[in-house]
Structure 1
Amino acid sequence: MKKLDIINNYSIRTKLLIIYLFCVLIPIIVTNSIVYITIKNNGVREQKTNMEHAVERVKYDLGSVLDDCVLVSDHLHNDITLNDFITKRYGSLLDYYESYNYLLQNNVINYYYNSQHVYQVTIYTDNQTISDSGNFIKLTPEIRQSEWYRQFHKNKEAMNISVYYDNNRKNFEFNNTARTISITRKLDNFDKSHENILKIDVDYNVILNDILNEKMDANLYVCNKNYILFSNKKSNVGKEMFDTIDSIEAKDIKFSDFFRFKVANETWDIIITADEVSPLSKIVEKKEILFGLAIFNLLLPTIIIGLVSHSIGYRVTLLGIYLGKVEKEEFSTIESNEGQDEIGKLIRSYNLMVLRIKELIEVVFKRDAEKQRLELAKKQAELKALQSQVNPHFMFNTLESIRMRSLIKGESETADIIENLSVLLRKTINWGEDHITIEDEMTFVENYLQIQKYRFGEKLSFSFYIMEECKNIKIPKLSIVSFVENACVHGIEEVSHNASVNVSIVRSDNSLIIEISDTGSGMDKEQLDLLRNKLRNAEIDMLSNSKSTGVLNTYMRLQMYCNNNMKFEIDSKPREGTDVTIQIYLDESNFTNSLFKNNQNNDF
């Protein structure tokens, strides 16, 4: 802690500057850096995710187009009518046209033009007896020198993907593309003795449109080993030569994957190039926002801390000057605008201290004297209460003699009453512990009521209800008896009709509820308000000044027992009776022991 005390040696201005550096400037720089890195990383992840999705869509589109064309080639490869047509050697041109018309009637080839992915179906054959037409062409030395045939012959596979630029198509006007992608295969399913080749040209524009539909800021390329076959950079490129793969800068590549054909030993690369993700470039585009953030984050805190520094420093310095005067025993008040903050409160407290310092010293002495007087009064009241409880002691032996004589004479009822009275006197004189169980307390109550019933006869009746789990809870001794006695003396005694006293003790949740009710004379509203006010403002001095202290004493003992954690209610109506309800909030210790030590004073 001594190392931290060095901060106290710096001025308030220096401390505020430290706060500015470590709580404003550095956190802003660190926070902005973290935000920038987070935004950039999120942008990179989002860009990569978008690229992955785009590549998966391209692969799906390529697979759909090429699988459709391969399916057409499979059907033609397995068509026996087509095989018979191209393998038959025709004796005359008339025979050929008859076979050709039969083929057209069966719609063998034209049927497959229904596929939107097939641009052209061409069958090349070494059968020199057929005539060249739109779908059938004789293999000539010129054709064997063409790019697609050389690729097919070089591959030596049953099926091949050929990519080449067809010069014969570049001058066509309508929707033709010189860029050609063809699926070539041998038609040797039925006859392997002749050379028959099926070439299906894929509709280049279909795949190109799928690529162009990938709306993204990055550049998307589909390439083979030598050329860029498709790109989303521009449309209407069908009549242009293929760009070479060398035109793609390796440093610009952000994502790459490949598409493998299912039936041909061929793979196409799918490459995406894009610029680096730069959140700062988007922020710089809006200079007004950047300038506003700079003012808000830097200039505004600087001005505010400067104003706060002057406000605090000036008044603290002024307070220090006047406290120096106090050290010299010069008590002067500070005449300035204190303000409503903590320093203003401190200045006002200083002024109050200067004005009342002598008065406070006198108050301290007076308070100590008053405290001693209250303590003395408390002890006197406790002694008086104890004295009032001990007075019946001299009668005990006499009562026992009377009881024995009553038994000898056969007056058992009188003997029982005297025995109950003796028990009460004995427990009163031999006080013992201040807190006893409810079960023992109710024994006192029953003894007392038996005595009163002997006195009142049939006029008095009583009943008890004690919940079993409440019997072992401890309460102040004779606390219930006091309220029962009050009910008999002030309630039952003053009426001529039969009356009753009822005691109910239950536990509800964490509360002990004691109810003492009688059907005696009751109290009017004025008497009830007077009693309630006396209990509400109960003090020790009232025990010595009041003629009747039983209820007041018991109330104060209960309050001390539960540390003022008690709810006390008393209701009464004239000629109807009085109800007393005591609710004590318990903790677990109340089930086995009292909450207070046994050496507390007894105020009964």
Structure 2
Amino acid sequence: MFRIEPSPWRRGLTAFSTSMNNIRTRRKLVLSYLLVVFLPVLVVGQLLTNTLREQSVNHAVEQAANNLKKIERQVEETLQIHEGVSNTIFFDKKLKEIVSREYASESEVFQAYRSYDSFTTYLELYKSIAGIRMYVNNETLLENWSIFRTDAQTASASWFQNGLESRGKIVWDYVPDPTRSNAKHLSLVRQVYNLDMSYIGMLVISVNPGVLNAILEQEPFETLIYTDRGEIVASNDKAWIGKPLQQFLQLEGELPREADGVRSIRFRDEPAKLLVESIEFAASADRLHIVSVIPETSIVRDARQVSLIAYTIVGASLLASCALILFFSAAISKRISVLSHDMRRVARGDLQHYSLVKGNDEIGQLSRHFNHMVANIGDLMRQVREVAESRHELEMKQKEIRFKMLANQVDPHFLFNALETVRMKAHCNGEGEIADIVKSIGALLRNNLEAGQGAVPFASEIELTRMYLEIQHFRFGSKLAYSLPNTNEVQDITILPLLLQPIVENAIVHGIERKIGSGFVDVSLDFEPGKLLVVIKDNGVGIEAGKLHDLVASLDDQEDDTGKRIGLRNVHQRMKLFYGQEYGLRLTSREGEGTTVIMTLPRGEQKHV
């Protein structure tokens, strides 16, 4: 015979188990504590700290991103006012006529200015507009707080050149305001020209800086707005307004053109998160950008405090638990040694010895069970003898039951033999019809006696029903006619035994027998996708509406029938148990016209329980 060698893994596991069994209990408890409690707690504590830090950073970034979205909406709503006003002025024919006309005297200029008050109206309506100015090349115009002549310094300014390059589109720039001591403000700059594309002037609409700063001042982190050219035009720290973004972020070289979103940077020699959102208008040639810088040290400060408290609690708990483990392991080891000594005495044959280990823990329970075991050995041996006697008596009774069962099997065989004798006698006397009926009765009885719980071919159930109907036709004569489906239609279908014949029997007993005149029972098949409908229809006396309602309701009753009668409820409940709740019987009837029973079966084998 071949000997199967254990695998290296199994040999290693066996060796480890053997070595652990050779270590004293106290040492195993301490080792288990270190491996199962001490080290995992340290590792889990570190993982939780890192997770808490990461979650704190993500939460702060998410909150800051939501704040940026809110700021973006507020700034966009504010600047849309300037965009709308610029669109109105861009197409203002009266303004174009005033600034394009050549004036002969100052009185004509004053007259033209007095007739145009749209700029003043816009300033009164919208508090977010700090000023509206129009720079033109018309030397005959007089300068006021709204109309300015374009001098060489203005024409060479970067904001003016950017407006010319945009060719009618809006440019957002940091523009000095001559009406406010040349203080710079975020301004909308737009070139205005005629329909023939001839230049008229440069429109400048200044944004009230207080409005933008008020939007940003509630932010907990440093947040600012800058232009495409890197000029900071608004900030919750006013010291940075007007300075380049490179200086704020401490960048060297050009400003990086990165997409909006979140990225990690070094801000003031510390790790930080940089969040960028851009604002773009349909009529603008450039964009504004909102930036928020979140230092990671301020985010994780609270998380570090929580981690320090957690580490302190975990360390104190580990030290206290270590002391308790040492104390309890010593106590357990001592009691186990005493109990082991008591067991050795009993093993040497001293059945009068009892263990003196006390307590309600597992060791104390083991000691009490040990004492009970020693005290009850005699009782157990007596019980073994009693059990052996009881088993012998039970075997004798079982043999008696088997004998009676074998004797009872003689009766059905005697009945079948007697029926076969009658059939042969009738056949010999030329009574062929009687012989066929007796043969059907015998087959019907044999089928009922041998019926089991498993599925049978549907064709055999149709043949069984045909034999039953032949017996009833012999009984009723021309009063009963019937129709059954061809068995070739159901060659590959199996169903539970005794489903069809009881329903047909119910139709004859309760429908046809009580009818005056001839009756008819029709069994037909209706194939649907995944289902087979067996329709049993009779033209008997029918069922009145009240009794039909009670009969349908009783189909789902769980009351047990202890007899062998197989009725509609028995068939219905067997189908639901075997096939599932969607299958079973449906009844329709009309008094005086007949009854229809529809049996719903699955196509193919489908067992539910």
TM-score by length of 2: 0.54
Q: Within 2, Cα distance between the matches of 1:512 and 1:80?
A: 101
Identify the match of residue 226 of structure 2 among 222, 226, 243: 222
Identify the match of residue 187 of structure 2 among 182, 185, 189: 182
Identify the match of residue 119 of structure 1 among 120, 127, 130: 130
State the one-letter code of the partner of 1:38: T
Q: Within 1, Cα distance between the matches of 2:300 and 2:378?
A: 68
Shift of 1:72: 1.0
Shift of 1:320: 1.0
The question of whether the paired residues in 1 share the 8 Å contact of 2:164 and 2:191 is answered with no
Q: Structure 1 residues 87 and 509 mapped into 2: Cα distance closer, same or farther (>3 Å)?
A: closer
SS in 1 for 2:193: coil
Shift of 1:66: 2.7
Residue in 2 that maps onto 1:317: 337
Shift of 1:223: 4.7
Shift of 1:374: 4.7
Residue in 2 that maps onto 1:108: 118
The question of whether the paired residues in 1 share the 8 Å contact of 2:188 and 2:206 is answered with yes
Q: Structure 1 residues 309 and 221 mapped into 2: Cα distance closer, same or farther (>3 Å)?
A: farther
Greater alpha carbon shift after TM alignment, 297-306 vs 149-158: 149-158
Identify the match of residue 206 of structure 1 among 184, 201, 211: 211
Q: Within 2, Cα distance between the matches of 1:242 and 1:167?
A: 20
Whether 1:248 and 2:233 are equivalent positions in the alignment is no
Q: Within 2, Cα distance between the matches of 1:117 and 1:75?
A: 17
Unaligned residue ranges in structure 1 (runs of 5+)? 171-176, 391-435, 439-467, 473-506, 516-604
Residue by residue over 1:119-148, the C-alpha shift from the partner in whole angstroms, topping out at 9 and shown as x without a partner, is 111122222222221212223334435564
Residue in 2 that maps onto 1:513: 562
Residue by residue over 1:175-224, the C-alpha shift from the partner in whole angstroms, topping out at 9 and shown as x without a partner, is xx9331222223322576565222211222212222224x3446455353
State the one-letter code of the partner of 1:316: I
Q: Structure 1 residues 337 and 179 mapped into 2: Cα distance closer, same or farther (>3 Å)?
A: farther
State the one-letter code of the partner of 1:46: H
Residue by residue over 1:286-332, the C-alpha shift from the partner in whole angstroms, topping out at 9 and shown as x without a partner, is 58843662256413432443343234222211111112222332346
SS in 1 for 2:107: helix
Paired-residue identity, %: 18
Whether 1:274 and 2:274 are equivalent positions in the alignment is no
The question of whether the paired residues in 2 share the 8 Å contact of 1:283 and 1:290 is answered with no
Q: Structure 1 residues 270 and 193 mapped into 2: Cα distance closer, same or farther (>3 Å)?
A: closer
Bigger-Rg structure (1/2): 1
Q: Within 2, Cα distance between the matches of 1:368 and 1:185?
A: 110
Shift of 1:88: 1.8
State the one-letter code of the partner of 1:231: S
Q: Structure 1 residues 512 and 304 mapped into 2: Cα distance closer, same or farther (>3 Å)?
A: farther
Q: Within 1, Cα distance between the matches of 2:313 and 2:346?
A: 49
The question of whether the paired residues in 2 share the 8 Å contact of 1:218 and 1:273 is answered with yes
The question of whether the paired residues in 2 share the 8 Å contact of 1:12 and 1:309 is answered with yes
State the one-letter code of the partner of 1:208: N
Residue by residue over 1:358-388, the C-alpha shift from the partner in whole angstroms, topping out at 9 and shown as x without a partner, is 5544654x53775488579969x969x99xx
Shift of 1:50: 2.5
Q: Structure 1 residues 347 and 70 mapped into 2: Cα distance closer, same or farther (>3 Å)?
A: same
State the one-letter code of the partner of 1:112: Y
Aligned pairs (5 A) from 1:261-410? 261-276=281-296, 281-285=301-305, 289-290=309-310, 293-295=313-315, 297-331=317-351, 333-334=353-354, 336-358=356-378, 360-361=380-381, 364=384, 366-367=385-386, 370-371=389-390, 374=393
The question of whether the paired residues in 2 share the 8 Å contact of 1:228 and 1:243 is answered with yes
Identify the match of residue 130 of structure 1 among 126, 134, 141: 141
Unaligned residue ranges in structure 2 (runs of 5+)? 1-9, 251-264, 268-272, 409-448, 452-497, 503-555, 565-609
The question of whether the paired residues in 1 share the 8 Å contact of 2:159 and 2:174 is answered with yes
Q: Within 1, Cα distance between the matches of 2:205 and 2:395?
A: 121
The question of whether the paired residues in 1 share the 8 Å contact of 2:57 and 2:299 is answered with no
Q: Within 2, Cα distance between the matches of 1:377 and 1:150?
A: 119
Q: Within 2, Cα distance between the matches of 1:89 and 1:340?
A: 115
SS in 1 for 2:81: helix
Q: Within 2, Cα distance between the matches of 1:377 and 1:69?
A: 109
State the one-letter code of the partner of 1:160: V
Please report the RMSD computed on the Cα atoms of aligned residues, expressed in angstroms.
4.4
Q: Structure 1 residues 304 and 132 mapped into 2: Cα distance closer, same or farther (>3 Å)?
A: same
Residue by residue over 1:74-123, the C-alpha shift from the partner in whole angstroms, topping out at 9 and shown as x without a partner, is 211211111221222222222222222222xxx33222221232211112
Q: Within 2, Cα distance between the matches of 1:102 and 1:50?
A: 51
State the one-letter code of the partner of 2:234: F
Shift of 1:248: 0.8
SS in 1 for 2:266: helix
Larger relative contact order, structure 1 or 2 (CA cutoff 8 Å, min sep 6):
1
Matched residues, number? 394
